[in-house]
Amino acid sequence: MPATVVVGTQWGDEGKGKLTDLLAGEMDVVVRYQGGHNAGHRIVVAGEAFALQLVPSGVLYEHITPVIGNGVVIDPKVLLGEIDTLSAKGVDCSRLLVSGNAHLIMPYHQELDRLTERFLGKNALGTTKRGIGPAYADKAARVGLRVQDLLDPKIFREKLDMVLYEKNLVLSKVYNRLPMKAEEIAEAYLGVYAERIAPMISDTVTYLHDVLGVGKRILLEGAQATFLDLDHGTYPFVTSSNPVAGGAATGSGLGPRDLSRIVGIAKAYITRVGAGPFPTELEGETGDLLVERGHEFGTNTGRRRRVGWFDAVMARQAVRLNSLSEIAITKLDVLDTLEEIQVCVAYEAAGVRYAVPPYHQSTLHEVTPIYETLPGWGRDLSGYTRFEEMPVEARDYIAFLREQIGVPISVVGLGPEREQFVRP
């Protein structure tokens, strides 16, 4: 039985947590394949909200085995804190498996993320300051510590001593900070973190291929999104991993042909947190309205999200980059009170019209969006359970997006609760 991927098609926070939770009802395993606790995936079930960062969103179901794949970077303290919070709410996390090849976020990663952002000043990326970029940089530089190193104190300590020597030079000589102590780091990581995480550490590649072989259904839950992708996003205003569907293979160990259904997810408008180009960005009253109605503040960081009109240029690119087989549109209800809604159907720059984003970032910064205006529906959509019964303007809006994007729309979200959606 081939696997399904859920991938964000914008700049994150499209509702991947909610969609994963929704689809997990018919899955057996849910895998996170990249990112770390920069993610914030919010799920609401019967009025109770869960904000997940590292634990896969399928965890709320007892029949699901949640897996943290090799492509994820893990801050053990955050992982354990999240497990404790979920357990206190009655969610059983005992089935969680963690790849031994996943990399560890270390205290110096977090410190360096903060310091480099400060150093960049007005050019700062607006990262989540969670140490994500520095941890992936060390992975690429082959000086990272991995989850499996927690099982071998001698190796862990050798690697830590080697890497910390260089980190401390940077911290003290470049940033004028106090050096960090290997002893203190080792005590925490090899102590309580190792003790509690050891039972979860597994060969997740073998596990995933074994379960796939006996016909179980696997869902791969992306974090971040297509335009935050290190290769395909608006570099350098991106994260340091590959959220695109191809990353689901490298980040889990499944082969590309194991991934058959790729579900993209987009808001009925668009948001972005942090710096970087944003062609359809809205300021003023309409922007404030979307922020307010959509509660557009970071799930974990609390930062106000920038908002804009739906951008079909980016959506078309996301279809290509991810081989999307379908797309879920979320938060249509947020547009309920608007008289008119705009959709960006193309960009224009220096007399050239673009149906997909221009490859040169300088051009992207200069484009003017070309909009089509659609009528609003002026009614509360949150209670609808059947697409056919929704106001014609809302159905036409979805039909217009479908035509612009070019792939079927399989789900439309009408509220944060698990049941608040319709199928066109």
Query: Can you give the binding site for ligand GDP, defined by CB under 6 A?
Result: 8, 12-18, 40-42, 44, 295, 299, 330-331, 333-334, 413-416
Q: Cβ of residue 271: shortest distance to ligand IMO, in angstroms?
A: 8
Site string for ligand IMO, 131-160 (x = CB under 6 A): -xx---------------------------
Q: Does 409 bind ligand IMO (CB under 6 A)?
A: no
Q: Which of 116, 204, 239, 420 binds ligand IMO (CB under 6 A)?
A: 239
Contacted entry of Mg ion, ligand GDP, ligand IMO, none for residue 15, CB cut-off 5 to 8 Å set by kind: ligand GDP
Q: Which of 116, 128, 226, 299 binds Mg ion (CB under 5 A)?
A: 299
Q: Give yes or no: 396 in active site.
A: no
169 burial level (CB within 10 Å; 0-12, 13-18, 19+): exposed
Q: Under a CB-based contact definition with an 8 Å cutoff, are residues 412 and 329 in contact? A: yes
Q: Cβ of residue 68: shortest distance to ligand IMO, in angstroms?
A: 14
Q: Which of 7, 8, 64, 407 binds ligand IMO (CB under 6 A)?
A: 8
Q: How far is CA 388 from CA 348, 374, 382, 393, in A?
A: 36, 19, 14, 12
Q: Which candidate, 262, 290, 293, 243, places its Cα nearest to that of 416?
A: 293
Q: Which candidate, 338, 316, 280, 341, places its Cα nearest to that of 407?
A: 316
DSSP assignments along 31-87, one per residue: EE-SB-TT--EEEEETTEEEEESSS-GGGGSTT-EEEE-TTBEE-HHHHHHHHHHHH
The CB-nearest residue to ligand GDP is 413
Instruction: Give the three-state DSSP class for 235.
Output: coil
Q: Give yes or no: 41 in active site.
A: yes
Residue 327's H or E segment, with its range, is: strand 326-330
Q: Under a CB-based contact definition with an 8 Å cutoff, are residues 332 and 268 in contact? A: yes
* Contact positions with Mg ion (CB under 5 A) in 37-56: 40
Q: Does 40 bind ligand IMO (CB under 6 A)?
A: yes
Give dist(CA 169, CA 188) in Å, integer: 22
Residue for token pair 């290997």:
182
Assigned token pair, 202: 């597994």
* Stretch near ligand IMO under the rule CB under 6 A, chosen from 90-98, 115-123, 221-229, 321-329: 221-229
Q: Does 126 bind ligand IMO (CB under 6 A)?
A: yes
Contacted entry of ligand IMO, ligand GDP, Mg ion, none for residue 44, CB cut-off 5 to 8 Å set by kind: ligand GDP
Query: Contacts with Mg ion: how many residues (CB under 5 A)?
Result: 3
Q: Which of 13, 82, 296, 311 binds Mg ion (CB under 5 A)?
A: 13
Name the residue nearer to ligand GDP (CB basis): 39 or 96.
39
Residue 319's H or E segment, with its range, is: helix 312-322
Binding site for Mg ion (CB under 5 A): 13, 40, 299
Which residues have a catalytic role annotated?
13, 41
Binding site for ligand IMO (CB under 6 A): 8, 11-13, 38-41, 125-128, 130, 132-133, 223-225, 228, 237, 239-240, 273-274
